[in-house]
Amino acid sequence: MPSLEEELFPSTPGKFKIDRGHSMNRQFHRCFASTSTMFLWALFLIALTASYLSFQSFVDSGSRYFSASWGGIQWEKQVRNSAQIHRSGGMSVLVTGAAGFVGTHVSLALKKRGDGVVGLDNFNNYYDPSLKRARKSLLNSHGVLVVEGDLNDGKLLAKLFDVVAFTHVMHLAAQAGVRYAMENPNSYVHSNIAGLVSLLEVCKSANPQPAIVWASSSSVYGLNDKVPFSEADRTDQPASLYAATKKAGEEITHTYNHIYGLSITGLRFFTVYGPWGRPDMAYFSFTRNILQGKPITIYRGKNRADLARDFTYIDDIVKGCLGSLDTSGKSTGTGGKKKGNAPYRIFNLGNTSPVKVPVLVNILERHLKVKAKRNIVDMPGNGDVPFTHANISHAQREFGYKPTTDLQTGLKKFVRWYLSYYGYNNRKGLQ
Ligand SMILES: NC(=O)c1ccc[n+]([C@@H]2O[C@H](COP(=O)([O-])OP(=O)(O)OC[C@H]3O[C@@H](n4cnc5c(N)ncnc54)[C@H](O)[C@@H]3O)[C@@H](O)[C@H]2O)c1
C-alpha cells in the first residue's frame, strides 16, 4: 500500500499509480486518503495566500514607513488628538499647507477657539524650509500636529480621512509666487492642479464629505483693468502660469461641486503680509536687503507709473478664512454621489486700499531706521501685474468681513517679528 506521503507526492510528478483492487478496506482508505489530500492541498493553498497577502502588506507598509513619516497606531493617536474638538458646535479641520505662512496663522486661530486641526505640508524648499520647520514647532507647541506629506499622496489623504471624519478642509497648500513659474512651471502643475484634484478625489469619497474652503488668488484678475476688482469681473486673461493654475482651480472645484455636491468656497487673497511671512515676497526681501545694506529693486510700470498692491494684513485674512469656514454650509454628497445642491462661492479678501510700492519702502525705512538703496527699473514681462485693488462687499455681506489693519500698523508688527526672529534684537545696532 502506498503511503499517504507517496499518494500526495508521487515520485513521478503528475502520474498517479492506478490500483485496481476492490476490497472495502482499500476503497475506504483511498476515499479517506483523497479527502485528506484535498484537505491538505486546501490548507496549503490557504496558507500560501495568507502569507502572500501579509508579505504584500509588509512590503506596502514597510516601504511607507521607510519613505514617509506617517502611519502606525501611535501616529493615528496623535492625529486623533490634534483633531479633537474643544467647543460645542466646533469643527475638525484638515489644513493643507499648514507649515506655510497663511496656514500657520489659520491653524493657530482655529485651535485657539477650540476647533480640531490637523495640518499637512510637504516642506518643499521653494523658500527656506527652516522657516517652515519653525512654524511647525510653533504649531506643535499649541497642540497642532503637522503631518509631513504631499497632496498627491492619495493613500495618505485617504488614511487621514479614515482616522478623522473631518468636517472641513482649509486648503492652502500650493506652489505660490508669480515669477518662479518661469523657472519651474511643473511645480505649479504638481501642487496647484494635480494636488488639488488628488485632494478633491478623497474629499468627494469621504463619508461625511467635508466642506472645502481654499485659496485662489487676486492674480486671477490678470490684465483686468476695471477697478476695484469684483468677483463678477472677467478672469480669463491670466498674466502668469501661477494665475492660470489658480483660475483652473476655480473651474476644477466647480465641477466637483456640480457633480459630487462638495461645498466649495474659493478665496481670492490680495497680497498677504505679516509676521512669519513669505521670504519671496517684496516686503520681506526688501526688509532683508535694507538691513544688510544691499540695494532693493523696485519695478515701475508703463509710463513710469508706480506699481500698487492692495496689501492685506494676515490677521484680516485669518478672519476672512474663519468667516468662510463658519458659513460654508454642508456638502451634500455621500459615497461619491451628489444628493442635493451645495454652495459654490468665491470671495475677494483684500484691504480695499492699494498702496504704491515706493510708499511701502518709505514705511519700512521708518520702522527699520535704515535708508534703502533703491534701484528703480522697468517691470520685465515676468507675470507681475501693475496694480491690485479689491472690492470686498460680497464677503462683507456674507460674513461681515471687515479688514482693520492699515499698512503702517501691519508692517510695524512684521518688522518687530523679523528683528526678533532673525536675532537683530540681540545685536548692537542694526547692520
Ligand atoms: N500670501 C499671499 O499673498 C497670497 C496671495 C494670494 C493667494 N495665496 C495663496 O494662499 C495659499 C497660502 O499661501 P502662503 O503665502 O501661505 O504660501 P506658503 O508657500 O507659505 O504656503 C504654502 C504651503 O504649502 C506647502 N505645499 C506646497 N505644495 C504642496 C504639496 N504638493 N503638498 C503638500 N504641501 C504643499 C508648502 O510647503 C508651503 O508650506 C496658497 O494657496 C497661495 O497660492 C497667497
Nearest CA to ligand 1 atom 2: 272
**Residue of higher predicted confidence among 140 and 63:** 140
Cβ-based neighbours of 60, under 8 Å, separated by 6 or more? none
Long-range contact set of residues 6-12: C-beta below 8 Å, sequence gap at least 24:
7/33, 7/34, 7/37, 8/37, 8/40
Whether pLDDT at 27 is above 60: no
Decide: 327 and 398 in contact? Cβ < 8 Å. Answer: yes
Whether pLDDT at 325 is above 80: yes
Write down the pLDDT at residue 136: 98
Whole-Å CA distances, 32 to 13, 17, 24, 36, 46: 21, 17, 12, 6, 21
Decide: 349 and 267 in contact? Cβ < 8 Å. Answer: yes
Residue entry with cell 519695478 = 299
Half-sphere CA count of 52, side-chain side, radius 13 A: 6
The pick from 136, 189, 272 for probing ligand 1's pocket by mutation, whose C-beta has the most ligand atoms within 8 angstroms, reads 272
Write down the pLDDT at residue 5: 36
* CA pair distance 322, 389, nearest whole angstrom: 22
Q: How far is ligand 1, taken at its centre, from the CA of residue 202, in Å?
A: 20
Decide: 115 and 88 in contact? Cβ < 8 Å. Answer: no
Q: How far is ligand 1, taken at its centre, from the CA of residue 227, in Å?
A: 26
Per-residue pLDDT, averaged over 228-235, amounts to: 97
Query: In the chain, count of helices (H) and strands (E)?
Result: 14, 13
Whether pLDDT at 144 is above 90: yes
Phi-psi region of 59 (alpha: psi -120 to 50; beta: other; left: phi over 0): alpha
Q: How far is ligand 1, taken at its centre, from the CA of residue 199, in Å?
A: 15
Residue 406 CA, chain-centre distance (Å), reads: 28
**Residue of higher predicted confidence among 43 and 375:** 375
Amino acid identity, position 417 = W
| Enzyme catalytic residues | 242
Q: pLDDT of 40-59, one tens digit each?
A: 666 666 665 555 544 444 34
CA-nearest of 274, 299, 311 to 378 is 299
Decide: 214 and 264 in contact? Cβ < 8 Å. Answer: yes
Q: pLDDT of 268-301, one tens digit each?
A: 999 999 999 999 999 999 999 999 999 999 999 8
Ligand 1 atom at minimum distance from 218 CA: 6
Decide: 248 and 277 in contact? Cβ < 8 Å. Answer: no
Ligand 1 atom at minimum distance from 267 CA: 7
Write down the pLDDT at residue 336: 80
Residue entry with cell 475506504 = 28
Peptide bond into 343 cis (omega under 30): no
Ligand 1 binding site (Cβ under 6 Å of any ligand atom): 97, 99-103, 120-124, 132, 150-151, 172-176, 191, 195, 215, 217, 269, 271-272, 278
Write down the pLDDT at residue 431: 38
Whole-Å CA distances, 156 to 69, 147, 153: 10, 10, 5
Return the C-alpha cell found at 412: 510695524
Domains of the chain (ranges; CATH) run 70-272+314-352+387-404 (3.40.50.720)
Amino acid identity, position 28 = F
* CA pair distance 255, 349, nearest whole angstrom: 23
Return the C-alpha cell found at 326: 463658519
Whether pLDDT at 1 is above 70: no
Decide: 199 and 174 in contact? Cβ < 8 Å. Answer: no
The answer to pTM > 0.95 is: no
Helix 73-83 to helix 154-163 angle (10° resolution) is 70
Decide: 197 and 120 in contact? Cβ < 8 Å. Answer: no
Return the C-alpha cell found at 241: 502660469
The pick from 192, 269, 312, 384 for probing ligand 1's pocket by mutation, whose C-beta has the most ligand atoms within 8 angstroms, reads 269
pLDDT averaged over every residue in the chain = 88
Ligand 1 atom at minimum distance from 101 CA: 16
Whether pLDDT at 348 is above 80: yes
Measure CA of the first residue to CA of the last residue in the chain; give whole Å: 100
Write down the pLDDT at residue 55: 44
